[in-house]
Structure 1
Amino acid sequence: MNVTSTAVSLTVDDVPAGAAFLARHLGFREAMAADGFASLVREDTPDVILLRRGTEVLPEGVRDQPAAGVIIAFTVDDLDAEYERLKNEGAPITMPLREEPWGERLFQITDPNGVVIQLVAWATSERA
């Protein structure tokens, strides 16, 4: 198998609000969009595709289910700087910066559709 790109698809209620959130706070840009659909891209991460809940392209058994229980995690170089930047931008920080016992540092923001986005970095040996 030769994979040329990777994407995460999420079923949401408000595609434009989700797309605007990802563009404003995480630097994605809209590559394609139509009614009930947006494809968002960055050069350094998988694409994010937002589909409006109920869209017929989704299998019948799941087309009305919103994205739930999903966390999109991005590993970043300077977690503290990202935390401050997002806090200053007014992004909804729904889990403050913390360090897990296994050495992962993280915090979470949540988009208008309830999609949880986690920014992560491994603690350095000085912090561990």
Structure 2
Amino acid sequence: MIEPKSSFPVFVIKNLDAAKYFYTENLGFDVAFSGDWYIHLVSKSGVQIGFLLPSHSTQPPIFQKPYIGEGVIFSLEVEDADVAFEEAKSKSLNIVLELRSEDWGQRHFCVQDPNGIYLDIVQSIEPTEEYQNDYN
């Protein structure tokens, strides 16, 4: 069996500088690696994310197509979604889903980063009775 010890998404994007700025200035990530074709960011809590330029000669063809903005949600769990939402508003982030509570046990909102990646900023809350049995 393959047993992962950590995980991180890598998005193939067109603008590394915009990603680096957005994630370090707005979400508190630090730069762990910064090349002219790839950056790797890590949060203080250990959340990791990578960004790769498309069509880079060191990468196989399956890693060369740029992200087109569909089919991916990158969720970031926070202690307090209300505080995070106010911070996102104060920084004029591109909020694409307003703050709301979901019956299945989430309070969240979504922003879109400069490369089109949707970030679901999530706080776990008590689910309604209907969803209680869905949790282990």
Aligned residues, how many? 127
Indicate how the Cα distance of structure 1 residues 125 and 70 shifts in structure 2: closer, same or farther if over 3 A, else same: closer
Of the three residues 75, 95, 99, the one matched with 2:101 is: 99
For 2:20, the aligned partner's letter is: A
Indicate how the Cα distance of structure 1 residues 60 and 125 shifts in structure 2: closer, same or farther if over 3 A, else same: closer
Contact 2:11 2:51 in 1 (8 A): yes
Mapped to 1, the partners of 2:10 and 2:127 lie a distance apart of: 35
Mapped to 1, the partners of 2:63 and 2:38 lie a distance apart of: 16
Q: Provide the identity percentage.
A: 26
Q: How does 1:45-64 map to 2 (within 5 A)?
A: 45-64=46-65
Q: CA RMSD in A?
A: 2.2
Mapped to 1, the partners of 2:96 and 2:46 lie a distance apart of: 22
Higher strand share: 1
Q: Which residue of 2 aligns with 1:25?
A: 26
Query: Could you tell me the TM-score, scaled by structure 1's length?
Result: 0.86
Query: Could you tell me the TM-score, scaled by structure 2's length?
Result: 0.81
Question: What stretches of structure 1 of length at least 5 have no aligned partner?
Answer: none
Q: More deviation in 97-106 or 68-77?
A: 97-106
Mapped to 2, the partners of 1:16 and 1:55 lie a distance apart of: 16
SS in 1 for 2:107: strand
Question: What stretches of structure 2 of length at least 5 have no aligned partner?
Answer: 131-136
For 1:51, the aligned partner's letter is: L
Mapped to 2, the partners of 1:2 and 1:102 lie a distance apart of: 29
Q: Which residue of 2 aligns with 1:87?
A: 89
Mapped to 2, the partners of 1:46 and 1:106 lie a distance apart of: 18
